[in-house]
Structure 1
Amino acid sequence: MSALGAIMPTDREPTMTAKLLHLVFLSTFWGMQIWVTFISGFVMDNNLNRHTFGYIQSRLFPFYFHMGSACAFFNLTIFTMYHPSDLLDDREAFQVFIFFVCVTVAAVNAQWFGQMTSEIMADMHQIEQACGLGQDIGLSSNREAYSKLRESDARYRKLSSRLWLYHSLSSLCNLCCIGCNGLSLYYLAENMTTL
């Protein structure tokens, strides 16, 4: 048996290594998503000042988005290696579609929306620092001062609206990937014979 035959069997049965890698990539991405989306942001928002929170996010999110893109790509690659397009049933075709959507959305978020959000936020922080803002903890602790800054500074107002747009698009991409990975986990659980 050749080395290639050991890696990719012709009878469509994935090797233990392929199954393990598929689970590692899917669970890594899922775990990161749950932690970053539902836990770390809330903890940091309630314990760090606005600029420290923003700085950490600007360093953490690019890594998170690129790591997620890579995990999604490897999941798509592994799954399609063992599910040739001419032999796909409807559920397998849907799973390929889900992986493809996840890869595409994660890549767009990593290359565009997430990056733009970080850049805009950094520009806003410079303006806020010049006005003595940014050391307050929590987003709602000093809303009035930020509202006044938006009213008085046209550049800050423009940056604020752009930040809202890109942050919303980035969040939407993130939620889409969470949904895709949730469906993928459901597919895996449905096809497990034992625990």
Structure 2
Amino acid sequence: MAADRDPNFTAKLLHLLMLSTYWGMQIWVTFISGFVMNNHLNRHTYGFIQSRLVPFYLHMGSACAFLNLAIYAVYHPSDLLDEREAFQIFIFFVSVTVSAVNAQWFGQMTSEIMADMHLIEQACGLGQDIGLGSNREAYAKLCDTDGKYKHLSGRLWLYRLLSSLCNLGCIACNFYSLCYTAENLVTL
């Protein structure tokens, strides 16, 4: 249902730019850059880059999601919404909320825990191995012999899991929004 006024070209362009920028970042960071870096950088370099890259990605994603919600809500007043438009606003709201929680809590905690673990690993001469799963025995032994490291390892696993679930939730929201937007294009 159209609002009292249809969005102008600038609003439409900004909405599409934010949606596509966030989608592109999500695909690149989630499915490409992490795997490439993990297979070519040592554990600590990879962790250091991720600790700088991921917070920026999460905050940029939150900003893009918020701008999408704001632009869409301005041109779709609540008293004129049909069910699909209301669901689209809900999807944008979920994306904003989940990305903000991920940026402010899970992503930040993951970086802090990983930095603490790297200090312990460096003291034990670990962290220069390349690739996921390389030198597993040494890290398992460190977990067995160092209670603090074992505790940090468990917390890191939990926060990475929660952050990943949030990220996948935002990807799903953006995929739905892309489909909704494509379905509502008048012409290409």
TM-score, normalising length: structure 1: 0.94
Task: Name 2:25's counterpart in structure 1.
Answer: 32
Q: Is the 8 A contact 2:3 2:76 kept in 1?
A: no
1:68 pairs, out of 39, 61, 71, with 61
Task: Name 1:135's counterpart in structure 2.
Answer: 128
Q: Does 1:159 pair with 2:152? A: yes
Q: Is the 8 A contact 1:12 1:83 kept in 2?
A: no
Q: Does 1:126 pair with 2:126? A: no
* Separation (CA, whole Å) in 2 of partners of 1:36 and 1:12: 37
The 4+ residue runs of structure 1 with deviation greater than 6 A are: none
Task: Name 1:86's counterpart in structure 2.
Answer: 79
Q: Which runs of 5 or more structure 1 residues have no equivalent in the other structure?
A: 1-8
Deviation at 1:77, TM superposition (A): 0.1
Q: 3-state DSSP class of the match of 2:134?
A: coil
Task: Name 2:16's counterpart in structure 1.
Answer: 23
Deviation at 1:10, TM superposition (A): 6.7
Deviation at 1:194, TM superposition (A): 1.5
Q: 3-state DSSP class of the match of 1:175?
A: helix
1:6-17 aligned within 5 A: 11-17=4-10
Task: Name 1:43's counterpart in structure 2.
Answer: 36
TM-score, normalising length: structure 2: 0.98
Deviation at 1:12, TM superposition (A): 3.0
Deviation at 1:140, TM superposition (A): 1.0
Q: Which runs of 5 or more structure 2 residues have no equivalent in the other structure?
A: none
* Separation (CA, whole Å) in 1 of partners of 2:135 and 2:183: 48
**Structure 2 residue identity aligned to 1:94:** F
Task: Name 2:180's counterpart in structure 1.
Answer: 187
Task: Name 1:5's counterpart in structure 2.
Answer: none
Task: Name 2:162's counterpart in structure 1.
Answer: 169
Q: Does 1:149 pair with 2:142? A: yes
**Structure 2 residue identity aligned to 1:64:** Y
* Separation (CA, whole Å) in 2 of partners of 1:107 and 1:193: 32
What fraction of aligned residue pairs are identical, expressed as a percent? 76
